[in-house]
Structures are given as structure tokens and as C-alpha cells.
């Protein structure tokens, strides 16, 4: 059996593979990770602000958040939510769509993934303070599953909207005027 992909499928696979390769290389390079330090500090400041709003005691030193009882964690490049955001961005830029649908998808995806990531960081801090033994499961399993579901759910919704916004040749236009 011969496998044959549509051009869009092959283009999407190549784009996603290249993007993930670049991200993995960036994660392995301390020099490149230093470029993201301002992002890490900004994200730790935002997390600290939400924690203060929720009346949770927290001290911040650069990108490290610490609870008075001793729990702390450092926000790094990997914690920034870049990976899920890049998956969505590459997909939206690769799939044919109208400029308006693509732009609105990019805005919603980037903002949505950052809000989800901020919720993740606040929740992980809370879990680490309340039950440090549960931190690993929440960090490595629970939030990875949530991120995957969020990415797949967003893309499914966007692809559904995208397929409805593009007429498929004459058949779609004629169907609107067809008698029952």
C-alpha cells in the first residue's frame, strides 16, 4: 500500500516537526535560554501578582517563587507555555484560511494559552504549598494532559470554523438556493 499525503498534511507535518526541533534545541542551549530570562521574570511577576490577589504568601527573587514554609519553584523557559502556543501558531499559519480568521485565531490562541499557563503556575504553587508530594504528578502529568486537551480542542474548534467559512466550489453556493 502506498502512502500519499495531501500537500497541506505534508506541509503541516514538516512545519510542526521543524518548530518542535527548534524548540527542543533552544531548551538544550543555556545561551538561548538566557534570552528568555526576561520572559521568565515577567511570568513570575504575573504569577506573584495573582498569588497576592488570592492572599497566598509568596516571595519572588527573579524567576523563583518561594512560600514562607519552604516550598519554592523556578519558572524557566519550559514553563512559559511556548510549546503549546507554537504548535497552535504553526498550525494556524500553515492551514489555508482567511486573514481575519487566521488573525483572530492567533490572538485568541496566544492570549488563551498564556492565561491557561498562568492558571497552571498558580495551581502548581498552591499544590506545592498544600501537598509537596503531589507537585510532581500535577506538574508532569495533570497539566500536560490539560495542555494537550486545550491545544487539540482549540484547533478542532478553529478548523471547524475555518471549514465553514470557505465555500467548496459551486456546490456549496448552489446548495443555499436549492429547493427542499
Query: How far, in Å, CA of 178 to CA of 34, rounded?
Result: 61
Question: CA 160 → CA 60, 112, 154, 163, 165, distances in Å?
Answer: 42, 18, 10, 5, 9
What integer pLDDT is reported at residue 166 of this predicted model?
A: 61
What integer pLDDT is reported at residue 113 of this predicted model?
A: 92
What integer pLDDT is reported at residue 5 of this predicted model?
A: 46
What integer pLDDT is reported at residue 98 of this predicted model?
A: 87
Average pLDDT of the chain is: 85
What integer pLDDT is reported at residue 6 of this predicted model?
A: 60
Positions in the chain short of pLDDT 50: 1, 3-5, 170-179
What integer pLDDT is reported at residue 172 of this predicted model?
A: 46
Ranges of each domain in the chain: 7-165
What integer pLDDT is reported at residue 23 of this predicted model?
A: 82
Question: CA 3 → CA 8, 9, 10, 142, distances in Å?
Answer: 15, 12, 11, 35
Q: Provide the 10 A C-beta neighbour count for residue 115.
A: 11
Amino acid at each position: 500500500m502506498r502512502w500519499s499525503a495531501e500537500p497541506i498534511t505534508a506541509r503541516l507535518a514538516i512545519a510542526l516537526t521543524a518548530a518542535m526541533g527548534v524548540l527542543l534545541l533552544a531548551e538544550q542551549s543555556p545561551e538561548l535560554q538566557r534570552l528568555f530570562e526576561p520572559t521568565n521574570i515577567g511570568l513570575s511577576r504575573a504569577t506573584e501578582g495573582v498569588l497576592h490577589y488570592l492572599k497566598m504568601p509568596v516571595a519572588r527573587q527573579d524567576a523563583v517563587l518561594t512560600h514562607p514554609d519552604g516550598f519554592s519553584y523556578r519558572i524557566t523557559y519550559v514553563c512559559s507555555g511556548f510549546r503549546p502556543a507554537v504548535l497552535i501558531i504553526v498550525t494556524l499559519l500553515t492551514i489555508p484560511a482567511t486573514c481575519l480568521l487566521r488573525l483572530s485565531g492567533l490572538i485568541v490562541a496566544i492570549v488563551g494559552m498564556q492565561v491557561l499557563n498562568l492558571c497552571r503556575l498558580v495551581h502548581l504553587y498552591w499544590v506545592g504549598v498544600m501537598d509537596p508530594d503531589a507537585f510532581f504528578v500535577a506538574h508532569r502529568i495533570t497539566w500536560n494532559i490539560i495542555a494537550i486537551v486545550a491545544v487539540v480542542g482549540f484547533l478542532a474548534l478553529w478548523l471547524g470554523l475555518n471549514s465553514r467559512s470557505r465555500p467548496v466550489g459551486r456546490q456549496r453556493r448552489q446548495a443555499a438556493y436549492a429547493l427542499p
